[in-house]
Structure 1
Amino acid sequence: MSQANYRKGSWFIGLSLALAMVMTLFPLPDAWQLWRPAWVMLVLSYWSIRAPERVGLFWAFVCGLLLDVLLGTSLGVHSFALALTTFIIKLLQQRIRLFPLWKQALMVAFLSLIYIMISFWLIRLTGKSEETMAWPSVIINGLLWPWLYLLLRNFSGFLRVN
């Protein structure tokens, strides 16, 4: 892949991840906090599946550090959880691409369960207590995956992101 083709659309990848971070910070009522989707994990999963040579562990680690700063958690909590889920996606990327969309949604829901469990465990380990683990967000992440996948696929196709 030439350098010009490699850079083509990089701004869109960065913009989609930045938008995911903004969506993570978007205020929700307290009763809905358990239902908050893991936007950064979902978008990072999409790009790890769609463009594995461009988005990988480095992006996951950097996005996780930014998420830790934005959410006020201990540095490394989200970066470790995102890097681990991205690593699993990288291992299974070729299989996941072949799955129909409903199986991809189940796989992403399972990966978001891993992400949420690791984040919850690390936050508890660092001494900050969260009341409950966000189990309902696993369901929301699985339900959102087909819509997010189609949206990002259409935009990346329109913008010719390689």
Structure 2
Amino acid sequence: MMAKRSSNNTTFMHLSMLGGVLLTLLPWSPTLALLQPHWAAMMIAYWSLNAANSRVMYVAFAYGLLLDVLMGALLGKHGMSLVALSFLVTKSAKKLRMTSFWQLLMMVLVWLFNDIVIRAAIDWVSYRYQPELIDLLPLLTAALIWPWLKYLMDRTQTSMRLS
């Protein structure tokens, strides 16, 4: 019974990560593209909070490399930022499971800000890209989407456990 639950959880994790990658790759209008959150990072943050082991870091690296290949980015850019995100979330996951909704939301925004800073630093070193304040707009949409994403993922996991 336990092996089946673990298998269902792993399958759900990979399906949700693929969904995050697909949402990242969807074409958006130029105006909305400025607001598009980093879906894969939000999924990694969720799974790092809820998984009891460190295998999420391997998943983060694999899907980060997949994002690099599909987006034509510098190989390892997303992999590195997602592994750093997963590491930071995993280190404080036990404490954060007991915090309030608002504290968790603020911490998720800090982690996503860190993800943006890492990717901007890699772009600066590689291409001399100058980060702008507008690069932080995805944090606003992430703040609006995160509560709904967490609720949906928690409900789906609960229904999978019950069936």
**So what's the TM-score if we normalise by structure 1?**
0.90
Provide the residue aligned with 1:93 in structure 2. 93
Provide the residue aligned with 1:148 in structure 2. 149
Q: Deviations over 1:72-107 (max 9, x none)?
A: 101010111110111000110011111122211111
Provide the residue aligned with 1:70 in structure 2. 70
- Bigger RCO of structures 1 and 2 (CA < 8 A, at least 6 apart): 1
CA distance in 1, matches of 2:54, 2:84: 17
Matched, 1:53 2:53: yes
Gaps of 5+ in 1: none
Residues 16 and 107 from structure 1, CA distance in 2 versus in 1: closer, same or farther, beyond 3 angstroms?
Answer: same
Contact 2:5 2:161 in 1 (8 A): no
**So what's the TM-score if we normalise by structure 2?**
0.90
Report the CA distance between 1:130 and its aligned residue: 6.8
Contact 1:113 1:138 in 2 (8 A): yes
- Letter of the aligned partner of 2:140 in structure 1? I
Gaps of 5+ in 2: none
Contact 2:54 2:90 in 1 (8 A): no
Using the aligned pairs only, state the percent identity: 26
Residues 28 and 130 from structure 1, CA distance in 2 versus in 1: closer, same or farther, beyond 3 angstroms?
Answer: farther
Residues 23 and 156 from structure 1, CA distance in 2 versus in 1: closer, same or farther, beyond 3 angstroms?
Answer: same
Provide the residue aligned with 1:8 in structure 2. 8
Provide the residue aligned with 1:107 in structure 2. 107
CA distance in 2, matches of 1:152, 1:83: 21
Contact 2:20 2:39 in 1 (8 A): yes
Report the CA distance between 1:2 and its aligned residue: 4.6
Report the CA distance between 1:137 and its aligned residue: 0.7
Contact 1:44 1:86 in 2 (8 A): yes
Report the CA distance between 1:33 and its aligned residue: 1.9
- Letter of the aligned partner of 1:17 in structure 2? M
Report the CA distance between 1:3 and its aligned residue: 3.5
SS at the partner of 2:75?
Answer: coil
- Letter of the aligned partner of 1:121 in structure 2? A
SS at the partner of 1:8?
Answer: helix
Report the CA distance between 1:110 and its aligned residue: 0.7
Report the CA distance between 1:54 and its aligned residue: 6.4
RMSD: 2.0
CA distance in 2, matches of 1:28, 1:99: 35
- Letter of the aligned partner of 1:35 in structure 2? L
CA distance in 1, matches of 2:141, 2:52: 24
